[in-house]
Structure 1
Amino acid sequence: MIAREWKCRVPEAHNKGFTDYLYETGIKDSYATPGFLGAQIFRRSLTAKIELTLITYWDNLESIKAFAGDDISQARLYPEDGAYELEPDLSVQHYEVIEHQIAPELRG
Structure 2
Amino acid sequence: MIARVWHGATKPQHADAYESMLKPELLPGLSKIAGYKGSYFLRRDLGQEVEFITMIFWESLDALKAFAGPDYELSIIPEERRQYLSKHDEKAAHYEVVSQASPLAR
TM class, shorter-chain normalised?
0.7 to 0.9
TM-score (norm 1): 0.84
Match of 2:36 in 1: 36
Aligned residues: 106
Q: CA deviation at 1:5?
A: 0.2
Change (3 A) 1:7 1:50: same
SS state at 1:28 partner: coil
Native 8 Å contact 1:9 1:86 kept in 2:
yes
Q: CA deviation at 1:20?
A: 1.6
Q: Choose between structure 1 and 2: higher helix proportion.
A: 1
Q: Deviations over 1:26-82 (max 9, x none)?
A: 333321211000000111122321000000000011211122111111111211123
Q: CA deviation at 1:107?
A: 5.3
Native 8 Å contact 1:33 1:66 kept in 2:
no
Native 8 Å contact 1:41 1:55 kept in 2:
yes
Work out whether 1:60 is the aligned partner of 2:52: no
Inter-partner Cα distance in structure 2 for 1:84 and 1:68: 22
Match of 1:18 in 2: 18
Native 8 Å contact 1:11 1:48 kept in 2:
yes
Alignment gaps of 5+ in structure 2: none
Percent identity, please. Answer: 27
Q: CA deviation at 1:17?
A: 1.1
Match of 1:92 in 2: 92
Native 8 Å contact 1:74 1:91 kept in 2:
yes
Native 8 Å contact 1:27 1:39 kept in 2:
no
Match of 1:8 in 2: 8
